[in-house]
Homo-oligomer: A and B are copies of this chain.
Amino acid sequence: MALAASVTGAFAAPESAAKSKAPLDAVASDPAKLGWMVGSPPPANRILRFDDGSYFQFPALRWSVSNFRQLMPTMNVSRGLGAPVPLPRAERDDIDSVSFTPLGGSQPMTWAQSLPANYTDGIVVLHRGRVVYERYFGVLKEGGQHGLMSVSKSLAGTLGATLVAEGKLDADKRVSEYVPELSRSAFGSATVRQLLDMTTGIRFSEDYADPKAEVWQHAAAGSPLPKPKGYTGPRSYYDFLQTVKPQGRHGEAFGYKTANTDALGWVIARATGRSVAQLLSERIWQRLGAEQDGYYTVDSIGTPFAGGGMNSGLRDLARFGEMLRNDGVFNGQQILPKAAIDDIRQGGDKGNFAKAGYKLLPGWSYRDMWWVTHNEHGAYMARGVHGQALYIDPKAEMVIARFASNPVAGNAANDPTSLPAYHALARYLIATPR
């Protein structure tokens, strides 16, 4: 059951534990070729189950990230019932040849080469709102849904920033004012702003190598499976959050800890009477002209996993990014207040961020559960384990949505061949408008 932890999307450790021995490459680990869960019944060694954890071992996880709903209970994020708003298309094959130098590398790599290097399951690039590039690999199709992992955090953070901009949530209030049950936890004395920026002083280790790390308790609490006999721990995300102990002081450093997002989800639920799943549907998905419903995995009492449980179609994630790029306007409507998006892209405190030690992300910051590059294009991004990304480059008028199933959870494993690729493509699109 503890393997549910793997979907917290929380592996935060910078550049750690990446290269012990080389895993299968993208072609050899192609989940379509390996035939997971194909057949009636599938062969015994191709059956994946949630309860024994087999589903999240590489290379099996390459199937599972596109099929979480077959493994776990879920809550719908309705797109509504109207016609989807098609994304205009203007595809460019020249993008495959865009070249860049991986971080820390010396040999150039092309965009096309970067996709298998990163175990990409699907990628779409919008330029000025038009689809200029779109590819799918393995078992993901344009009509499929893929786990967003911690990109889910940025969705929750966007909802939070929206509520703050609208005055429905007071960022300066303490968490305990919204959720009295958190008064005695480390969260109670933090402000909503500290939650949004993950500068709370909480004890929450995401060191998966440590069986006593809090992330395992979080996962066990959130698992929708029946608890094992003798289990005395928390039985839901809300139960778990009440057990979180303090460590350090609030507001002094960025610490990427999934529990902050689940606490934010709780605050949002209390402030609006809506779960993040319901609010995301009502405020965003139903107004984006999305072409597919999304969904959240849920715990045993129906709480959507705000920190990592969202799944969606790739193009719908791109629609969301394009709406942000356009100051909250999409499909002819002001969907979110510009003030919320301004707050995200202005970024957070760089000093606080630097303390977290992300060597591959120098000069970045974290705000409203978004990663802000502070590069010359003003790019900001949502990031999830195993390579999920939503990258928004305002200057290049570019949005990249990417699903992946890298054998290594931490993004330090794919940043070297993804971040410079994104920036190189942005520069290329500026230089070669069509």
Q: List the interface of chain A (C-beta within 8 A of B).
A: 37, 40-42, 47, 49-52, 69-76, 78, 80-84, 142-143, 145, 225-226, 236, 238, 266, 269-270, 275, 291-293, 295, 298, 300-303
Contacts and interface: CB of A to CB of B under 8 A. Distances in A.
A73 B50 contact: yes
B41 A303 contact: yes
Count chain B CB atoms within 10 A of each CB in A69, A75, A145, A275 and give the residue with the most.
Answer: A69
Contacts of A78: 143
Contact of A238 (B41, B70, B142, B293): B41
12 contacts: A37-B301, A41-B236, A41-B303, A49-B300, A50-B73, A51-B225, A70-B74, A71-B73, A74-B74, A76-B145, A81-B143, A81-B292
Given A143-B81, A292-B81, A301 B50 contact: no
A74 B73 CA distance: 7
A220 B301 CA distance: 22
Nearest to A44: B301
A222 to B, nearest CB: 13
A73 B70 contact: yes
A117 to B, nearest CB: 29
A270 B143 CA distance: 24
A295 B302 CA distance: 18
A281 to B, nearest CB: 9
Given A73-B50, A74-B74, A275-B40, A81 B81 contact: no
B84 A75 contact: no
B40 A303 contact: yes
A295 B145 CA distance: 14
Nearest to A237: B41
Given A52-B226, A81-B143, A81-B292, 7 more contacts: A40-B266, A40-B269, A69-B73, A73-B73, A225-B225, A226-B226, A292-B293
Contact of A69 (B74, B226, B266, B291): B74
Contacts of A51: 225-226, 300
Contacts of A70: 73-75, 298, 302
B238 A40 contact: yes
B226 A142 contact: no
Given A47-B301, A75-B70, A81 B291 contact: yes
A292 to B, nearest CB: 7
Contacts of A50: 73
B81 A142 contact: yes
Contacts of A81: 84, 142-143, 291-292
Contacts of A52: 226
Contacts of A76: 69, 145
A423 B50 CA distance: 47
